[in-house]
Amino acid sequence: MSAATTAPPALDLSADVVDLTAAICDIESVSLAEQTLCDAIEAALAGLAHLEVTRIGNSLVARTELGRPERVVLAGHIDTVPLTDPPNLPVRRTGDELVGRGTVDMKGGVAVQLKVAAQVPEPGRDITFVFYEGEEIDSRYNGLRLIQEARPDLLEADFAVLLEPTSARVEAGCKGTLRAEVTTTGVAAHSARPWNGHNAIHDAATVLGRLAAYEAATVPVDGLDYHEAMQATGIRGGIAGNVIPDRCVTTVNYRYAPSVSEAEAELVVRELFEGFGIEIVDNAGGARPGLDLAAAKDFVAALGVEVVAKEGWTDVARFSALGIPAVNFGPGDPNLAHHDEERCPVTELAACEAALLRWLA
């Protein structure tokens, strides 16, 4: 006898965008545990006859097929970083803000996507809605990547909007990010007789000195300024409390302008730390703003909001690599993403919904 299947929590797409955000947030979906929320979104989309829905793992792609001359993507990830202890759920409303895990990153954006899907059955452009898993963890779990590998045709489009938190502004493009491990080597010895060895941790002072002296550039790209950054984000070394360490590793994170290629970024790091062991452990290129393209111009003109450079890395870079210009636009202050007290102004939820409806309808 098979076990009974538990129905997913119901999501009411006719509800106010604020209430819908709270309902989505209250369905816990820490990375690798998105199934329940994906089931709930799939059940909600099943009631929208104008959409063709495809599920790949715990990611969903819902498309209109109206034969419009242009297709746009609205995309958002459904996973969150882990909850706090005690948990920062269920969501609560405090004044004009929703407070709790996911309200900023990025279930407010997911709620806006669902509201648009429900309210625009015959858009002027064909729309592809993407709700995907695994964005907050290693890229091998990223739902966009998995969709691209399994069904690249589902992501074909002329323009994409990623509803990451931007405080309801357009944040164009994104910076690249490189992570390197810079190693200093020495000779182990008894700490009472350091002259018999060579201290690798002491040599790391030279690595940190080069970092401290490094002057990061501000790079204009397509009319927007991207502020580069190079920082030490970790250091490890040592064998025991009475042993001169023979190895020390400094982790360096380089955030580079989208006009810089991955190979050029690697060269910058290798030249800066010449003479030391260097291993590039991660390198993801950025995305140019693409604001000179017609679809992007129409989007910015329709929204009538401020446009700034995206200072972090987001999945707009994945769309850019596919030849699809993309921007970030969503509710919530990005400075509060992953914060224990995530909170999103309800006015931004309503503003983002209204802006996208204005553009699409």
Catalytic positions are 79, 135
Calpha distance 190→225 (Å, rounded): 51
Strand partners, 63: 52, 128
The dihedral sign for the CA sequence 112, 114, 115, 120: positive
Instruction: Quickly tell me which residue has 């360096």 as its tokens.
Output: 252
Strand partners, 162: 75, 328
**Interatomic CA distance for residues 204 and 22, integer angstroms:** 47
The residue whose two tokens read 């900023």 is 104
Q: What is the 3-state secondary structure (H, E, C) of 90-145?
A: CCEEECCEEECCCCCCCHHHHHHHHHHHHHCCCCCCEEEEEEECCCCCCHHHCHHH
Per the CB < 8 A criterion, the answer to whether 310 and 316 are in contact is: yes
Location of structure tokens 């609560």: 92
Q: Where are the alpha helices (DSSP H) in the chain?
A: 17-25, 35-45, 107-119, 143-150, 200-213, 262-272, 294-303, 316-321, 346-360
The CA distance from 74 to 80, in Å, is 18
Dihedral angle at the C-alpha atoms of 235, 238, 240, 242, nearest 10 degrees? -120
